Amino acid sequence: MADAVLFMLAVINIIGLYLLAPVVKRELNSFLDFVKKRDAGEITGDDESGDDQEPVKTTV
């Protein structure tokens, strides 16, 4: 019984991977384009001000 449940969970995960593959491919291509531009010198540290991101808040 436990083996059957684990098999079904694996099948569900594989289906999810198949459905999310286009999203992963798009994000990977976007990241690789960013890395190529950064390595070519088109993007510098000044360009990445992070205006589109919220600041990280930490509590102690």
- Domain borders along the chain are 1-34
Give the list of residues 6+ apart from residue 34 with CB closer than 8 angstroms, or none: 43
> Which range among 5-9, 35-39, 51-55 shows the weakest confidence by mean pLDDT?
51-55
Radius of gyration of the chain (CA): 20
| Cβ-Cβ contacts under 8 Å for 43 (sequence gap 6 or more) | 34, 37
> Once rounded to an integer, what is the mean pLDDT over residues 34-52?
76
Is this model's pTM higher than 0.85 or not? no
**Backbone dihedral region of 50: left (phi > 0), alpha (psi from -120 to 50 degrees) or beta?**
left
